[in-house]
Amino acid sequence: MESLEARIDRLEAIEAIKQLKALYCEICDDAHNPDRIVSIFTEDGIWEGRGIGKAQGHVQIAELFNNFQKMMSFTQHMVMNP
């Protein structure tokens, strides 16, 4: 049986993922704010979207989200629990 500490760690990790997912959606719905979006990625992080492309690192991710600002005047993200 999994230890109590391991079970708590697992639940805390799940909650952290939920919070990050919600923050990502909030940032996207904040006019795809490039300064905010890079704050949730590591310096070498990757954003990849099917049919959209791939951006790696803060500079490329910020550029991509700048382009999103030009392409979309409004977005609304709705997500479910894992």
Q: How far apart are CA 53 and CA 33, in angstroms?
A: 18
20-59 residues labelled b (16+ CB within 10 A) or e (exposed) = eeeebeebbeeebbbebbbeebeeeeebeeeeeeebebbe
pLDDT in tens, 5-50: 999 999 999 999 999 999 999 999 999 999 999 999 999 999 999 9
Kindly report the pTM of this predicted structure: 0.84
The fold adopted by the segment(s) 4-71 is Nuclear Transport Factor 2; Chain: A, (3.10.450)
Domain ranges of the chain: 4-71
